[in-house]
Each structure stands twice: as structure tokens, then as C-alpha cells.
Amino acid sequence: MAMKLVQGLVVMAVIYVLIQKLAHIGWQDVQKSLPDSPVFYILFLMMYAAQPVAEWLVYQTLWGPRVKRHFAVFLRMRVYNLALVSYMGEAFLALWGKKNLGLKGRVAASAVKDSNILSALASNSFTLLMLASFFVTGQLEKITNTDPELVFYIKIVVLVGILLVPLVIFFQNRILGVDPATAKKVFTVHLLRLLAVMLLQASQWAVVLPMVPFQTWLLLLTAQMVLTRIPFLPNTDLLFMGLGIAMINYIEGPEAAIAGMFLASGALAQILNLCVFIITSVPLRKSLTPTATPSRP
């Protein structure tokens, strides 16, 4: 009974937070700013699904084929991470794995840790490469001048990247709990997910604003990657929406269309987060009850 009460309170709290965020954006503004092209929404759904699909594939490698039947878990994980606080989804996933797959707490936590490290290795390596290219060409000032706080975030990402990449490469046997072959598979999935999201995102923006140079979209995507690499930031979807609106003066295109595009993307992400959270609440609440009978590997 106590467990059910706690689960119910958590669900209600998350729904309340998401509704408040949507109210803050403004329903009328969202309705006015929605793009007309259906391709925009198709690409949005594909981009939204990219992370849970990648995590679903990763944990089939780490935890076995039983994970195939539980895609809803990774949808919920995305909501926790991107709509609330970074790494809250990983804590939820480790708890779920322990209760439903019969994994020991240490084993579940080790798999989550390995996936996070390899994901960070892929993301930080790619982000460092993008930051270096924009620094050399002088384009990096466009986003640092727009949002001075981003300078602090960039410094953290560069420092972490410089330390993390060689550390994992040279000491992977001591840092990672998985064998090199498995680590390579997980790293590849995370890297492909990153590249897919970048391609989908740039394509989505190009649908609305085909006149904007591709380099501008890459600059914005680099800023987005910087934000997603900072742990414990609240609601990175909304933070990036604010950064995009602040950079309107640096984007060659109609200001109304640009602001509308970012507002629509941010609001749609919150709406979908809310819908996904509600839809996945029933099956996940059942799977997390003490009566669930896990099967040990």
C-alpha cells in the first residue's frame, strides 16, 4: 500500500510539473506558432523516439533480449531525463531493472554506469570536435555572446571531454564492467543515435526555414549538445528553446517564423512528454509493484 501511494504521488507530481511548464509557454502562442508542414511533425516524432530507441537497443545488449518487451520503460526514462532533471531517468531504470529483471542492485547500477560513460564518450568527443571547428572559424562567439552562461557550460564540457576521453580509452578495463566487444557495440549505438538526431533536427529546421545556412543549424546543434552534456540541468528541452529564441538576430530568416519554430518545438516536446508519461504510467506501475515476479538471468 505504501509503495502504491508513493508511486501515485510521484506520477501526480510529474504531471503537475509538466502542465505548469506548458501553461508558462502559453497555449495561444503555441497555437499561433505551429508550422504548417506535416514533415515538421514527422521529423519531430522520429527525433523524439531516437533516444528511447537507442537506449532500448543498448540495454538489450547489456541486459539481454528480455528488455525487448519493455520499450515503455525507455520512453519514461526520456521524460525523466529531458523534461525533469538529467540522470533521473537512469536512477529510475536501475530500480526497474532490479525489480523486474531480477538483477542485483550492483549489477543494474554497473550497466547504467557503463552505458552513461560510453554515451558521454561519444557525445563529448563529437561535441569537442564541433566546438573546436567553430572556435577556429570564429563562429563560437555567436552563441557565447547571446547567452554568457553558455561560456561556463562550454568550459565544463571541454574540461570533462579532455579528461574523460583518454581516461576511458586507456583504462577501460578498470572503469567499465563490460568486455571491449560489448563496449564497442554500446558506443556505436550511442554515436549513431547522436548523428541521427543531428540529421533529423537540421532537416526539421530546414523544412521551416530553407533559406538559413546549414552552418547556422550546426552551431545551434552544438549549443544543444553542450546543454545536454551538463548533468542535473532542469528541463534541457525548454533551456534549448530559450537559447534558440535568443539567437534570432544571428539567424538569417523571418523572426516570427524562427521564434514560432522554437516555441512550437519546445511546447510539442512538453505535450508529448506529458502524454507519454500518462500513457506509460499504468503498465509501469503494474511492473513496479512488489507482486511482480522477476525471472533471474
Q: What is the pLDDT of residues 148-167, one digit of tens each?
A: 666 777 777 777 777 777 77
Number of domains observed in the structure of the chain: 1
| 69 part of a folded domain | yes
| 140 part of a folded domain | yes
Residue recorded with cell 547489456: 62
Q: What is the pLDDT of residue 33?
A: 61
- To which H or E segment does residue 133 belong? helix 105-137
> pLDDT tens digits, residue range 222-281?
777 776 665 544 545 555 555 555 555 566 666 666 767 777 777 788 888 888 888 887
Mean pLDDT of 85-103: 85
Q: What is the pLDDT of residue 67?
A: 92
| 3 part of a folded domain | no
Q: For residue 95, how many C-alpha atoms fall within 13 Å in the half-sphere facing its CB? A: 15
Closest by alpha carbon to 221, among 102, 103, 47?
A: 47
Q: How far apart are CA 146 and CA 288, in angstroms?
A: 44
Mean pLDDT of 24-50: 77
Q: Is the pLDDT of residue 104 over 80?
A: yes
Mean pLDDT of 199-226: 80
Buried b / exposed e over 246-267, threshold 16 CB at 10 Å, is ebbebbebeeebbbbbbbbbbb
| 204 part of a folded domain | yes
Confidence of residue 189 (pLDDT cuts 50, 70, 90): very high
Q: Are 22 and 238 in contact (CB under 8 A)?
A: no
Q: Is the pLDDT of residue 297 over 80?
A: no
| 102 part of a folded domain | yes
Q: How far apart are CA 237 and CA 257, in angstroms?
A: 19
Q: Is 160 helix (H, G, I), strand (E, B) or coil?
A: helix
| 265 part of a folded domain | yes
Q: What is the pLDDT of residue 53?
A: 96
Residue recorded with cell 528541463: 235
Percent over 90 (pLDDT), the chain: 20
Percent over 70 (pLDDT), the chain: 68
Confidence of residue 130 (pLDDT cuts 50, 70, 90): confident
| 130 part of a folded domain | yes
Mean pLDDT of the chain: 76
| 227 part of a folded domain | yes
Q: What is the pLDDT of residue 68?
A: 92
Per the structure, the complete domain to which residue 103 belongs is given by 36-287
